[in-house]
Amino acid sequence: MARVWIFGQDINTDQIVPGRYAPYMLKNEADLRNYPFVEHRPDFAPGVQPGDLIVAGNNFGCGSSREYAPLALRLVGVGAIVAPLFARIFFRNALNLGIPCFTADLTSTLRDGQEVELRLEEGVIVTDEGQHIQLPPPPAFLRDVWAAGGIVPFYRQYGRFPGEAR
């Protein structure tokens, strides 16, 4: 089971990892796992478990194009992010890192701290009460990149980028 972490609207990359923590990434990338939401939601980094879900409002990942914001989320093992709208560059950075992002508004459907199961292959969230929530099906190329663990692992495995001729 995974835990749901509810966030509001307009969560920007500076809330995910404030810029002043960037030097830690330069010293040791693994240290980044200590900083996601360090000021916005201090209980997140010490409490998040691999596979947990972030459920947020509109415009998740807005702000600067800090690649270390989604990297910090990958390092702590976020299983997926669900929001009605993502900032384009954040969505692309998440794709590159193999973090599944689904466009849906579940902030009033799920509860903060609720236990759920994400069935990624099916695109379904099963709640602790047995409710099945169907997520919008992502294109096949996204599922392929997620399965490979990101765009670089995909390229290493297939010798091409998604959508390129085989």
- What is the DSSP track for 99-114? --EEE---TTTS-TT-
pLDDT tens digit sequence for 132-142 = 999 999 889 99
pLDDT tens digit sequence for 86-116 = 999 999 999 999 999 999 999 999 999 999 9
Q: Which residue has the higher pLDDT, 100 or 27?
A: 100
H or E element at residue 97: helix 88-97
Residue ranges making up the domain that contains 104: 2-136
- Residues 6+ away with beta carbon under 8 Å from 7: 41, 54, 55, 56, 57, 60
Mean model confidence pLDDT for the chain: 93
Asked if residue 45 is part of any domain, the answer here is yes
Asked if residue 146 is part of any domain, the answer here is no
- Count of domains observed in the chain: 1
**CA geometry: angle at 133 spanning 94 and 13, to 5°?**
25
CATH of the domain at 95: 3.20.19.10
Q: Are 28 and 71 in contact (CB under 8 A)?
A: no
Asked if residue 24 is part of any domain, the answer here is yes
Residue 28 half-sphere exposure, CB side, CA atoms within 13 Å? Answer: 5
What pTM, to 2 d.p., does this model score? 0.94
Asked if residue 143 is part of any domain, the answer here is no
Does residue 26 surpass a pLDDT of 70? no
A 10 A CB-CB count for 54 gives: 24
Asked if residue 28 is part of any domain, the answer here is yes
Asked if residue 157 is part of any domain, the answer here is no
23: left (phi over 0), alpha (psi -120 to 50) or beta: alpha
Asked if residue 165 is part of any domain, the answer here is no
Asked if residue 148 is part of any domain, the answer here is no
